[in-house]
Structure 1
Amino acid sequence: MQILLNEVQYYKNFDELARDVLEMAKESMPDRLIYLTSLTKQQQIILKLSESHPDIRIHEGMEIEVNETVCNRIDFVNNTPLVLEDMSLETNLDNLRAALVAANINSYLGIPIILSNGDTFGTLCAVHTDAMIINKKCVTMLQRIAKLFSYYLDLERLAYRDSLTGLYNRQFLYKYFEEISTTGGALLFLDLDGFKKINDLYGHDTGDLVLREVALRLESFVQTHHGFAVRLGGDEFIVNLVDISNREDIRALADMLLSRLSSWDTQLEAFNLSVSIGIVLYPPEENNNLKVLLKNADNALYRAKANGKNSYQFF
């Protein structure tokens, strides 16, 4: 599950650690511009640069469509660095040629930053305007630095992730509304129907498997819609949809969630496992009190369950 850029700003000493990483990498490759990125399925974000470079046209906070980046060519599955000493000779980069010329980059080293659970965080990169030899010892050193940085990321993300499902937890949700949320949206409070029977009959191990599967389906859902998913605890989840206020659009998304969480294999089908959803809208640029929003969404959820479950209600 991908790390939101919003999450990173909560990490203790992230800026300081990022600077240390870049300085250590710079000692190995002093003639290169070194930078850290984060990657999602849609974008690459330039997080930190070792220094501003007058001839290389990338900057902190820069967002690039992931298909237009060299970093997207890294083998993240096998955690293998990408070494391109003279990018002008790489015919497989022809579709990126205009972007490379615009950035004025012709030598590239990209080190994947992989978390302990196999998720991709981003890259540690070293670039130059000219074709340059890339020493194997330098590659190994940057790999070690990236690995140490991934250990730090693992420790920090534990504070904002649910240990069972990997979704965001209640602490992240509160932080988001206290410190980040400036756009309006919709808070969807989800509660599984029939889950208690599964725990009672098959035990908590099977129940945990169901919760993980629900989390995967919610994560897939929010990756294609602007928002994030949270496990509050037990079989209660939150889907926060950002910058959406049209009720018809929200109804369509709620219908999608009902469909995704009501189709199961034959063993679970007998329990009529489904989901009930309470929905509350909140306006932009206001101090939205999360406790009030959750209370209102829970009220709507109660009415959805009272109306026969496997349904949703607006507050």
Structure 2
Amino acid sequence: MAYCENEFNQQLERKWLHRAFASMFILSLVLIVVLYCIFLPDLDEHIFLNGVLTDAINFLIVVAIFVIVQKANLSTTAYVHLSLGLTLWTAGLTFDLLDEILTQPLFIGIYVEDILRTAGMLLTCYGLKLTMADLKRTQQRLSKELTTDYLTKIANRRFFYQHMQQVQTQRFTLIIIDIDFFKSINDEFGHDVGDKVLTELAALYSKAFSQECVFARLGGEEFAVFVPGDDQQFAIELSQQLLAIARTIELKKQRKVTVSIGVSFKTANESLTEVVKRADQALYKAKNSGRDQYNLA
């Protein structure tokens, strides 16, 4: 409810900003034209020979950019800087355009045009810088979301198998972990408890692995670990540690969480599919042998 209210307030604020800048943009152009009418200027007989066409094109380009900015989904800070910058820039171009058609006071041509145009360019450039920073942050966020499991906040299946494909020419150890009787946990205690088990187990396991390892949730109650190298003794010790860590999570009625683990080792000429298949087979053997244990392929 609070999120919806905040979103609604942001939309109202954005609409107010759009109306304010659109009004300011139009009023600034109207005021400039009125200013010239007050001075009662004389038309130049050869207006298309002194740069008016070029100035008109520049004016229309900046106006078009202003319209695009009004329709773009930008952060408030970037939107304000771009809109204000383009408004000042357009005002300077308007003076410049009218200067080619009508007679204007000397101080406008010397000071006002250049000050407005330069200030508008600077603000617009800074607004573009803010926009690029926003785009970079959005790209990083989306990239992280695509490779991160939404519940446990560890790597997801996509990221894990992409990493495995990149290192499939190397020797490594694959460990697959499956929570025992997870369906009964959901049925007996509720899905909220099941989700809590997943997140707590993922958090505890993440602390047990070195930075060279890749830990991911493959889906449901199944996790996987990529360990560089094929040291069998290290894999045994790590598997025993993972079994012990799972038992530290207690459910209601004094029931503890247990896991089953399957381990396979990548040989030099073995395909990735074969490594995964052997780890799955080892996992099934661990489950069929009573669970709460590991099995080496």
TM range (shorter): 0.5 to 0.7
Counterpart selection for 1:295 from 271, 274, 277: 277
In structure 2, the residue matched to 1:184 is: 171
The runs of 5 or more residues in structure 1 that have no matched partner are 1-140
5 Å-filtered alignment, 1:86-165, equals: 148-165=135-152
The runs of 5 or more residues in structure 2 that have no matched partner are 1-127
Distance 2:234 2:253 in 1: 30
In structure 1, the residue matched to 2:162 is: 175
Q: Would the aligned equivalents of 2:250 and 2:257 in 1 still touch at CA under 8 Å?
A: no
Name the SS for the 2:151 alignment partner: coil
In structure 2, the residue matched to 1:282 is: 266
> 1:280 is aligned with what amino acid?
S
Structure 1 pair 166–266 and aligned structure 2 pair: CA distance change class (3 A):
closer
In structure 2, the residue matched to 1:313 is: 295
Q: Would the aligned equivalents of 1:230 and 1:237 in 2 still touch at CA under 8 Å?
A: yes
In structure 2, the residue matched to 1:263 is: 248
Structure 1 pair 301–170 and aligned structure 2 pair: CA distance change class (3 A):
same
Percent identity for Structure 1 against Structure 2: 31
Structure 1 ranges of 4+ moved more than 3 A: 141-148
5 Å-filtered alignment, 1:232-243, equals: 232-242=218-228
5 Å-filtered alignment, 1:178-217, equals: 178-217=165-204
Deviation at 1:148, TM superposition (A): 4.3
How many residue pairs end up in the alignment? Answer: 173
| TM superposition score normalised by structure 2 | 0.52
Q: Which has the higher strand share?
A: 1
Deviation at 1:302, TM superposition (A): 1.0
Distance 2:223 2:249 in 1: 18
> 2:220 is aligned with what amino acid?
G
Q: Which has the higher helix share?
A: 2
In structure 2, the residue matched to 1:248 is: 233
Name the SS for the 1:162 alignment partner: coil
In structure 2, the residue matched to 1:228 is: 214
Q: Would the aligned equivalents of 2:180 and 2:291 in 1 still touch at CA under 8 Å?
A: yes
